[in-house]
Amino acid sequence: MRGDLAARALRAIADGAVDDGGVAGLAARLHVSERHLHRVLVTEIGASPLQLARTRRAQLARLLIDETPLRMTDVAFAAGFASVRQFNDVMRAEFGAPPSALRRPAGAPPRPAGATPRRDEADPGEERAPVDAAALTLRLRYAGPFDPGAWLAHVTHRAVAGLERADAASITRLLTTPAGPAVVTVVPGASGDAVLARLQLPRLADLGGVVARLRRWLDLDADPAAVDAALGADPVLGPLVAARPGLRIPGTVDPVELAVRAVLGQQVSTAGARTLTGRLVAELGAPGPDGLSLFPTPEAIVDAGEGRLRALGLTGARARTLVGLAGAVVGGLALGPGADRAGARAALLAVPGIGPWTADYVALRALGDPDVFPAGDLVLRRALAELPGGVGGPVDVAAAAAHAQQWRPWRGYAAQHLWTAWADRARPRAAQAALGPRPAWDAAPRRPGAHETIVPAS
């Protein structure tokens, strides 16, 4: 998960940037020329932007062929192809067979690549208009191991009534798409190699972007074997990795929403952050399908102004920060998958009221930087001090940052393990006993100092 130009371009292509704006649009989004972008990708990856976009469409089409009964023409448009003829040509080039030969009935053995399609299969050469709406169930595969319980516990503990609906096995929310809101439900523990995603889309052609956002939300493209191998020998993290192999960093389906919620969660409990977020959604969010609302747009927050935000229970300083953040986004601040991480962090820090903790948190969960360690986080510092193998005494910001250097380039996963282990302390006595008693030096409750943050996101 590098942060250089090639990596940013790959993430943007996976998000559908070439489908939306062509190579010219992708280059403009990354603030480089088309020629320079082409040269960098061919040198670093071995493929041009168009070739990478073609591969993305083919992979999405193969997912739909394997997982759904959609007609081949619908698969073609949903995957982003401009025509069925282009779809046929690319699928033959990528998989060595026409699309119809890739699909088989459940339980049937694979058919030879050159076999004649059955008469009851959809004709891949049939031209017709793309489907305007669709309800699909997909299996989003990942490389194991994967800890679905930890991911679901994280998101359900932060679920906001009206914005999200969670139960013991799944979470449902709305995603904004170019054609309108999509309803998505993810079931992370449905099987041992895939997350189940139930989708209601206003337009089938928006599927690629929705799938990419869901994969980032669940961190499904991580390399858990590499992460666990790097962190597993550490005296503090080793037992945590052994207890939760494949722990992922919960991301987001909406980077701006995450940044706003991070500001709302500054120096308040998770419950307090949920309350403030719920008020913001009820006041400024747009009602959507399935009894849920869309998160307020940055334009809506700017238009509301500080006075209306203070009426929701925000302090004047917090209201100014939210308006400043929303204004920066409206003015061009990019927080999506193709954003320049260093530039975005600098721009966030330029907003009054946003400090290193908030900027780091956004970098970790919205920008997808796996090597961020928010050393100012109170919970992380207490975990470093108190968990078995820890330092056994108070840890300040500088000491936490220095200690985390040994976990590069996976400091974000180290932070997630520490947050998760600390959250386990609030569970029954058996879980607490496994983590060990609190040390004598910290037996008495402490009041956070002005420099400490009570984290909404641990």
Separation of alpha carbons 76 and 74, rounded Å: 5
Task: Give me 445's structure tokens.
Answer: 């409750």
Alpha-carbon distances, residue 190 vs 147, 232, 345, 443 (angstroms): 12, 27, 36, 41
Q: Is 189 exposed, middle or buried (0-12, 13-18, 19+ CB in 10 A)?
A: middle
Provide, for the chain, the percentages of residues in helix, strand and coil under a 3-state DSSP scheme, each rounded to the nearest 5: 50, 10, 40
| HSE value, Cβ hemisphere, 13 Å, CA-based, for 311 | 8
- Is residue 41 a contact partner of residue 6, using CB atoms and an 8 Å limit? yes
- Sheet of 171-177, strands arranged across: 134-141, 194-201, 180-187, 171-177, 164-166
Q: Which residues contact residue 266 at a Cβ distance below 8 angstroms, ignoring those fewer than 6 apart? A: 318, 353, 357, 358, 453, 456
What Rg, from alpha-carbon coordinates, does the chain have?
A: 23
Owner of token pair 């108070």: 394
Task: Give the active site residues.
Answer: 377
Separation of alpha carbons 257 and 249, rounded Å: 17
Indicate the helix (H) or strand (E) that contains 141: strand 134-141
Task: Give me 368's structure tokens.
Answer: 């997808």
Residue 285 φ then ψ, to 5°: -75, 160
Alpha-carbon distances, residue 148 vs 126, 158, 184, 199 (angstroms): 41, 16, 17, 19
Separation of alpha carbons 209 and 336, rounded Å: 12
* Nearest CA among 374, 309, 362, 312 for reference residue 334: 362
Residue 392 has a CB neighbour count (10 Å cut-off) of 13
How many residues comprise the chain?
A: 458
